[in-house]
Structure 1
Amino acid sequence: MTTRRRFTQAALGSTVLATLGVPAARAQAIEQPKILYGFPAGSSGDIVARRVAERLAAAGYGRTAAVVENKPGAGGRIALETLKASPADGSVLCLTPFSCTSIYPHVYKKLSYDPVADFVPVSIAAIMHHGLSVGPMVPDSVKDVRGFVAWLKANPDKANYGSPAAGSTPHFLGALLGLSQAIDYKHVPYRGSVPAITDVMGGQLASVFCPAGDPLPNHRAGKLRLIATSGRQRLPFAQDVATFAEQGFSELTTEEWFGFYVPARTPAAVVAAANTAINQALKDKALIDGAAQVGLLAQGSTGADMARSQRAEFERWAPLVQKIGFTADS
């Protein structure tokens, strides 16, 4: 069966799930739900995972507040590998960016999980824009992407950037920038955004591509400069930062989502209950405001819509990954 066909069947399956009833007793029978997150504590997605976790019990999912278990490493794959091996009873969920399910299949010849066969999409949780930030290695006179590209060409020995992981969306955005400008823009992979940002602020690294919310506090504090974001429009909480498209780099436009998954074979009623509880939690004003503080736009969805988006991103990134020429073996 082709990957595209499996994506289509997953979307249809999610539509069926959304039509089923939600027996509250079954969801409440879960003692304490666990949310896996494949990146370090303190990053933007981790904040959303914890805010949702705090509200699941009140929304009727689980007897006590959910706990978040960080599984950093391997670009988020460890968390999904853990989810794959978890009980299919709704007690374990995973929050992950779409790169782990839509881009990694193009990167890893022997991916340890099947993004379609092994998981059921529950709901999108938040939308994030990625950003390009520069630190003290780059002169203060560099204030935009064109200025940064000119500096990179003049300083090829310093032309480097960090990202949260090899094969992640930020990694590829940096690679696309290097290709489009004919720059040998060297990638340095990290285990999450936080250590990469730390090295940029410390002057060990020129720049970092990562979720735009991660460097925001340090951008506001003047410790680094966020010079572009990847969304179609400027972030409402970073109106001072122009998008890549506004600066003439429309090929770097992308908006990535974090979404919740459960293991395959999780009962349909439990998936529906999780979707209802997550979407209720995402409407909480404190959660919305908290997500905004770390650069995320809280936004729920149906499982079917999430599956369709996963498939669309899978198809969109196939030629881009091929153009970049990166694989896990490269």
Structure 2
Amino acid sequence: MTFPDTLHPNRRQWLQSTGAGALLAALGTSALAQTSPFESVKIITGFAAGGTSDTLCRRVADKLPGTGYTKAAYVENKTGAGGQIAIQFVKSQNPDGLTLLQTPMSMLGIYPHIYKKLAYDPVADLSPVSLACVFDFGFAVGPSVPASVKTVPDFLAWCKANPKEANFGSPAAGSVPHFVGSLLGHHAGIDLKHIAFRGTQPAILDMIGGQLPAVSGPLGEFSQHVAAGKCRLLASTGAQRSKFTPNTQTMAEQGLKDMVFGEWFGFYLPAKAPRELVQRLNTALRAALATPEVVDGLAAMGLEAKSSTPAELTALLKADFERWGPLVKTIGFSADA
């Protein structure tokens, strides 16, 4: 797995520079009008219908026909192996622009560190097209944790006093939320046990039912439960407070300076897709992601719509891949164990 050495844009600068949605949409219509649209395309996601990844794909699929790239777009759910099945499927397809992959960063930037063997190479087998969205994570506690616990340090202190209760749930083993909780335990010198679930909502349901003290997961997954008073959001993991939870402190604000984490979803084509085709799809995706329906729909799930150039997406994956290597070693987790 290799990355081009020439792509080193400042991550924060370019993430903050993608707000010219209306201009991109206008440019997209003009540029794509020069080429006849495809009859139909497929967007492949490795996760089940109704989930965050699937919902993002369906919102984008609704808007792609309006960009001139295709007359119709459909979503196919190739679930299994924590998102790996979808990537394996897309890598085997022709790079003709008819089959797109939408995937979270973890499958590309973290899995190479936790699996001794993967059936795909995140760089050699895929052509990056555009970022889709970014989001932060949250750490919440349920009714089994005393009301006096109001911050993450409070929770860690409670865990030290109650070691038999010191555990947390996450949507999957090897996911960023799993590692967020594990790093909290590592930094505090606590054996904070991880319990893996098949998705964040099943973990939250156990938490609000009193069977699990805490859950680490995507920030938007907690919204309805916090609003209903069924759990308490102790912290978010962004560099700044999330605009979706402005009254919730970040972990950094609570003294956990190294606990700044986020994730992104991106769009890819199979490897060796022609540069002109990649650019054409990039323009279409940027236009679709800038529409109010997509922006507002993602915001309702705690996701911030963000597009990028293919080079920026390559650089972002490179930065995350390099960051997570040492962190995985610190945690000592292996999916093959």
- For residues 227 and 71 of structure 1, what CA distance do their matches in structure 2 show? 34
2:136 aligned with 1:140: no
Q: What residue identity is the alignment partner of 1:261?
A: Y
2:176 aligned with 1:169: yes
TM-superposed CA distance for 1:230, in Å, is 0.6
2:28 aligned with 1:32: no
- For residues 291 and 275 of structure 2, what CA distance do their matches in structure 1 show? 25
- For residues 111 and 178 of structure 1, what CA distance do their matches in structure 2 show? 28
- Other-structure match for 2:280: 273
Contact 1:165–1:191 under 8 Å retained in 2: yes
Contact 1:40–1:192 under 8 Å retained in 2: no
Q: What residue identity is the alignment partner of 1:219?
A: V
- For residues 237 and 300 of structure 2, what CA distance do their matches in structure 1 show? 18
Cα offsets for 1:66-120 (capped at 9, x unmatched): 2222333322222212222233222221211111111111111101110000001
CA shift in 2, pair 1:151/1:119, >3 Å: same
Which of 5, 8, 11 matches 2:4?
A: 8
Contact 2:102–2:268 under 8 Å retained in 1: yes
- Other-structure match for 2:67: 59
2:203 aligned with 1:196: yes
Q: What residue identity is the alignment partner of 1:45?
A: S
Contact 2:32–2:67 under 8 Å retained in 1: no
- Other-structure match for 1:44: 52
Cα offsets for 1:166-213 (capped at 9, x unmatched): 111111111100100111111122222222222222222221111111
TM-superposed CA distance for 1:154, in Å, is 1.9
TM-score (norm 2): 0.88
Contact 1:10–1:120 under 8 Å retained in 2: no
Specify the SS of the correspondent of 2:265. Answer: strand
Specify the SS of the correspondent of 2:65. Answer: coil
2:85 aligned with 1:78: yes
- For residues 206 and 89 of structure 2, what CA distance do their matches in structure 1 show? 30
Specify the SS of the correspondent of 2:143. Answer: coil
CA shift in 2, pair 1:77/1:11, >3 Å: farther
TM-superposed CA distance for 1:40, in Å, is 2.9
Specify the SS of the correspondent of 2:254. Answer: coil
Which of 167, 176, 180 matches 1:160?
A: 167
CA shift in 2, pair 1:114/1:258, >3 Å: same
Which of 320, 323, 336 matches 1:329?
A: 336
- Other-structure match for 1:311: 318
TM-superposed CA distance for 1:303, in Å, is 0.6
Q: What residue identity is the alignment partner of 2:157?
A: A
TM-score (norm 1): 0.90
- For residues 156 and 24 of structure 1, what CA distance do their matches in structure 2 show? 63
**TM-align CA RMSD:** 2.0
Specify the SS of the correspondent of 1:162. Answer: strand
CA shift in 2, pair 1:220/1:326, >3 Å: same
CA shift in 2, pair 1:325/1:130, >3 Å: same
CA shift in 2, pair 1:293/1:75, >3 Å: same
Gaps of 5+ in 1: 13-20
Contact 2:129–2:309 under 8 Å retained in 1: yes
- For residues 10 and 287 of structure 1, what CA distance do their matches in structure 2 show? 32
- Other-structure match for 1:69: 76
- For residues 110 and 10 of structure 1, what CA distance do their matches in structure 2 show? 28
Larger mean CA deviation between 78-87 and 219-228 belongs to: 78-87
Specify the SS of the correspondent of 1:67. Answer: strand
Q: What residue identity is the alignment partner of 1:57?
A: P
Cα offsets for 1:238-278 (capped at 9, x unmatched): 11111010011121101211111111122322211211111
Contact 1:74–1:165 under 8 Å retained in 2: no
- Other-structure match for 2:24: none
CA shift in 2, pair 1:266/1:249, >3 Å: same
- For residues 296 and 276 of structure 1, what CA distance do their matches in structure 2 show? 21
Q: What residue identity is the alignment partner of 1:60?
A: G
Contact 2:104–2:265 under 8 Å retained in 1: yes
- Other-structure match for 1:126: 133
Specify the SS of the correspondent of 2:55. Answer: helix
2:245 aligned with 1:228: no
CA shift in 2, pair 1:197/1:36, >3 Å: farther
TM-superposed CA distance for 1:27, in Å, is 6.4
Which of 233, 256, 259 matches 1:252?
A: 259
Gaps of 5+ in 2: 9-29
CA shift in 2, pair 1:163/1:27, >3 Å: farther
| Aligned residue pairs, count | 316
- For residues 40 and 184 of structure 2, what CA distance do their matches in structure 1 show? 44
